[in-house]
Structure 1
Amino acid sequence: MSPPLRSGAARILVIDDSPEIRLLATVLLEREGYEVSSADNGEDGVKRATETAPDLILLDVMLPGMDGYEVCRWLKQSEALRDIPVIFMSAQDDVPAQTQGFTAGGADYVTKPLSVPVLLARVRTHVALHAQRRSLEGMFRDALEYAPDGIVLTDPQWRIVQANARTLELFGYLREQLIGQPVDMLVPARLRGHHHERRKLYADLRPGDLKLGVNTDCLRSDGTEFAGELSVGLLRTNRGPLLMTVVRDVTESRRIQQEMADSRQRLRDLAAQGDAMREYERKNIAREVHDELGQVLTALRMDITYASMKFGAADADLLDRLQGMRVLVDRAIQGVRNVATNLRPSALDMGLVPALEWLSGDFQRHAGIPCQLDLGSPSVDMPEHRAIGVFRIVQESLTNVSRYAQAKSVCISLRQDEGQLVLQIRDDGRGFDMAASARGGSFGLLGMQERALALGGELTVSSVVGEGTTITARLPLQLEPQGEETP
């Protein structure tokens, strides 16, 4: 016995102008546990199908009035009845007749005289398939209705065909207020032109495709708006292709993301302020060391020289001591100069390009690694505190090269491109595994990236083991990032 589709037996409608066929089919099918009704012509068959909504229709081809093909075509045009499987019964067993039956929308075709085992087997099969289809459709409807996100189904003209409970909650409409309406009613007027343009992107969608993550504002029934994320896919249904739009309210997640972005920006502003204060203190300390301590040591050296000239000829031992003191003072003067230069190179006072020229030369002298400086312009017009930031990025990069890269050469290039400064430091050293470096947390690279972000730009690192490393920074020449200040 075929499994029931509802709480009762499956219902079968027999439409045939032969009383004998109707009686035979009724007896056989009721014996199998089905609920059977019948009609003797096409018009009555259509009426009975509309009244009872059967699970299967056995349909004779040669009927008075509307023939079987016309009845089937009418059923397939009915929204309520189009899914009911139809099995044609006919004495015509030629291919054209069977083809016409399938073209009209029939699910199967059996020939008269009827073979009872074949007829019952096909009835069982189509009743079971219909039950399975309705079960799957019910599961889909439930999944659609109770989905945590809003789901809107629209026809190819973007009219709303169905909307689930979450959609009604999000937009504040009743279901009957949405069905049949253009989906534009859910979009703010200022964005509708943009949405019409985006629809062109969905023209090539295939079943199963899904366009993800379109962020937009959505319009509620009361005129208020909320932040939405839309995903659009294509469904094949018995009423033709339907577009499925999944609507997710991302107002809260956007708020959290904005708070996190604001928090990160405040941290960057704080770090930038700290860097600016450190540079300010370095400048002051370097000046004090150079001017005060340097002058004292210079005066002391002059006194030692004077004492050597005045008393050295008469006392050889004193002269030796004074010469030793002068050597120590000279060493101290050089140390003061080195400290002042390391705190803040005096070349920075002349601009970024002279400072980089000094830095590359100093690196080459101390590290013993050839350093090529490729400058696209003899000068760079940018505020001093931003120039210092660029200088520190290059300085940190060269420090990493001397410590870790085992490079044979380094190239520093600097060029201006449409209001941006493009800085690149490239070495031919041993390189490193970027994935391992990311897991290990390279604070030197992170510090350079944060410095670039504080300057309103970005810094990228590219490295291959055995092939060297390239650091590229793109920085606005004049843009003042929010929160960036100088003391």
Structure 2
Amino acid sequence: MTVENSADDADLIRDTLAQSGLQLSFSWINTTQELRKALRSSVWDIVLSNTNVPQLKVDEILQLLMDYGHDVPLIVISEQEDEDAAISLMEKGACDYVVRKNLKRLVPIVRRSLREAENARRINITQVALQKSEARFRAITANLPGVVFQFLLTPDQNESFPYVSNASETLLGLSPHMLMANATLFSRLILPEDKKHYERLLRVSADKLSTLNWEGRIQVKGDSDIKWISLRATPKMAADGGILWGGIMINITRNKLAEREITHSREQLVELSSYLQKAKEHERARIAREIHDDIGGTLTAIKCELVPCMDHSPRLSDFYQKKAAIIENLVDHVIDSTRRISMDLRPGILDFGIVAAVQWQAKEFSRRTDISCHVSCDEEEILLDADLSVAIFRLFQEILTNISKHAQATDVWVSLVEAEEKITMEVRDNGCGINPQDMKKQDSFGIRGMHERCQQLKGSFQVSGESGKGTKVSILIPVQEMKPAYADDPIDVSDFKSEYEPGQLSLMTINNRRKQ
């Protein structure tokens, strides 16, 4: 597009450019309105303007080009040489200045201006693409769960961080500017026992150009907690002969703590399993001794009493009556021993339900230890699955055993409640109390076993206490939607309690009574 006073002047410029082989789409204007219309309707590669057009000055053309956002080179054509005017116009934004009498210079100036304009356009496109790419990169790094970084090791072994993402403030307690200004700040965060491993892996990665994979602990200044981080970076040779790593640091503290907890739990399970196996063997040995020493010895005595009665020697009736009385006493002793052993294995009172079983065990505990045990339960009976009743009863027995061994208590209070499909047992004592260190001892298998049993029942187990103020054990277990076999045909077990001592009643007795 050219701005000239006359069509003849415009044609002269067009012919000059056409003779050079330029492909032209040419337009001539000489007013502000025409220039506005041309800028709105088309995109122009170059504008040629005469300095002596009264209706449209060069300054106005430059302003309109700026207003319409056209980055188009403007070449000024002057009727006469004026160096000061040329300098002034070029300072305002003109691309070049040509005197009309020397139009031969116009062709190379136009070609050069077009090339420069094309280069500027490409640079602008590249810059826009780069800005978009940087924006996407920063958006990605801002949402990554870690610190994205570049780490440079120069040939003279100087370290620097050319780039660090903003997440460094959260993970490392250091701003990106601080790390880029002083790279040694990162290595100072690493714990001394992990630092040698980090430096060794860094050297191996630099020597072999292999991926750097390191996990270690850091401690942020002013923070009492220690963090575990995972650092992964890939190296490449830099232009100056150094090595440039690009990578990411991620906080893996939670994973490490979970791994340690799993390892610790496995170790505890192994110890508990070993303890339970030993306890089982000891219990088997105890039962075997009692059967052998007590029942076996009594049966041997019965046999010895029967042997004289089996020969053919004539004896008085008093002899046989005395032998029968002795044998009867021995048989009663066998019955008592059998009942005692069976009660140790599974108290028959459980057939009356969990409430009766807990009350009975509390009385037995009080009788055996002289420690008062008070049971509180709003329900006369709580219908539970047989396995769940046994589990809760065994938990209660273990709690009482711990109280008798360690609590030095004089009173125990027991609360048993069923609500919202959950059964809650709370046992408190007024003993010496318990502290967290006691519960974490390696040989505290009783507490650990109760905790594991509650977990198997999908319940919770809590122990709390204060030195000199007693201990409280709380058990919360969800009640399965199962009822005992006799739940649909209930009978009044109070009728049986008057006829049988605790432990003498069995399910067979109840079933026989039901049949009657």
TM-score range, shorter chain: 0.3 to 0.5
Instruction: Give 1 or 2 for the bigger CA radius of gyration.
Output: 2
Structure 2 length as normaliser, TM-score? 0.36
Query: TM-score when scaled to structure 1?
Result: 0.38
